[in-house]
Structure 1
């Protein structure tokens, strides 16, 4: 995979009966589509219409991300949804980390057939995060949070620095999404790594406590860190999510 390919958005129109089902995938904070391209291609190979956007402020420089409000990240997911909602009969939304928060927010606001999230972020472990609104004026960036991957040789093409101003935006997104979780009523599948050095367990606890869906399944990942979509458990994620999508859209593809 070249750098250009890793940083590019991905789209597949789908084929056969499954082309009637759209799937949106969202990468995470400071990351890129590289973290999701294997998953996207797996679903596209099964005929689903797939969109994996490059979120605003990503794939360029961390300085640009520092200038990007969280609403612009969401606009990328929203635009993908509107296109797929026009072209397909049902849409499933999925995301990794911050992308999980974006997926959940979309599910709260729009009609989706299902939600799949991998190590979704809703809380921030670093205690300094509560002061980030002030810290962003004193500290431009901190070390990268990218590539928390157990499998050797993997690279999600994340930024080498994490802009503090963008962390402030991330906290705002998490608060907004958490408030909307009771509106998420679609079936939801969650993959959660037992060892995740980026997103704390409290994010899952918030999701379990506040989500409105009566159909919530949590699958624990034994052999992956945060970017599980590129880690040892990626095939489990790909296969179980495909089965989930088939299940929640069974009435459409029958």
Structure 2
């Protein structure tokens, strides 16, 4: 079944001279970031939500992509926003947050918002996925409790899904992600821009210790750290998503005069 175009298509909303680059997660799609993007745009910020290579199509297409491809996509997003914006803020969920951190280590963005970005994955089996590579090309993606992912007070029904994500993961792409986590961790000391770090307490994908690791390794600035008590891994679509929008907006307002 083909996904709805609205769930997988990139999106752009023009606004003020501060551009927000929204980056979705591993095996996900722009649908994870659209709610945040629409709300930020309504508050006046310029927003670009990109689709990473191999995402929003099929797992088989994703199997042909690696970290280097996703980095190129993120860098292209920065370039696009620079055409109309004087400042660019990288904002990412999960691997999207890892990409935002990577952009910051290269001094390509003027600020960053990291949401549930991995330094450690919760499922320890992912560390040994290379061992099964000779025998399998994909692994089934575990499903966390739906209550940790979908707003209990949401009026969106199952007939109108908010997110498109693969149900299986290419092993080669996962191996590439594991390598990238270690690479970005070594680079964090180079980050100097303002940073907002968020972590969900009910995240079953990323080890919650990750946010403190990021905070520790970022030595040149003092990042703000926020924990979310009732949200799962997909923080941008969880029960506290409206509060997330507000905190991101406040972060942008607070640092806009310095950006």
Same fold (TM over 0.5): yes
Going from structure 1 to structure 2, the CA distance change for 1:167 and 1:215 (only over 3 Å counts) comes to: same
By how many angstroms is 1:31 displaced? Answer: 0.5
What residue is the counterpart of 2:239 in the other structure? 232
What residue is the counterpart of 2:116 in the other structure? 119
What residue is the counterpart of 1:164 in the other structure? 171
CA contact (8 A) 1:113 1:249 kept: no
2:62 is equivalent to residue 65 of structure 1: yes
* Separation (CA, whole Å) in 2 of partners of 1:187 and 1:13: 23
Pick from 42, 52, 68: which aligns with 1:45?
42
What residue is the counterpart of 1:216 in the other structure? 223
Find the residue that maps to 1:220 and give its secondary structure: strand
2:10 is equivalent to residue 9 of structure 1: yes
Number of aligned positions between the proteins: 247
CA contact (8 A) 1:187 1:213 kept: no
CA contact (8 A) 1:145 1:162 kept: no
More helix per residue: 1 or 2?
1
Pick from 120, 133, 136: which aligns with 2:133?
136
What residue is the counterpart of 1:32 in the other structure? 29
* Separation (CA, whole Å) in 1 of partners of 2:204 and 2:39: 27
By how many angstroms is 1:220 displaced? Answer: 1.1
Question: What pairs with 1:81-160 in structure 2 (closer than 5 Å)?
Answer: 81-145=78-142, 149-151=149-151, 153=158, 155-160=162-167
Q: Residue by residue, what CA displacement relative to the aligned partner does 1:63-87 show, whole Å, maximum 9, x if unpaired?
A: 1111101111111110010122232
Structure 2: stretches of 5+ with no match in the other structure: 153-157
CA contact (8 A) 1:61 1:159 kept: yes
By how many angstroms is 1:150 displaced? Answer: 4.4
By how many angstroms is 1:218 displaced? Answer: 1.1
Structure 1: stretches of 5+ with no match in the other structure: none
2:188 is equivalent to residue 181 of structure 1: yes
By how many angstroms is 1:222 displaced? Answer: 1.4
Find the residue that maps to 1:115 and give its secondary structure: strand
Going from structure 1 to structure 2, the CA distance change for 1:130 and 1:251 (only over 3 Å counts) comes to: closer
CA contact (8 A) 1:113 1:248 kept: no
Q: Residue by residue, what CA displacement relative to the aligned partner does 1:119-173 show, whole Å, maximum 9, x if unpaired?
A: 1112223333333233222222222256761435564211021221111011111
| RMSD between superposed Cα atoms in Å | 1.8
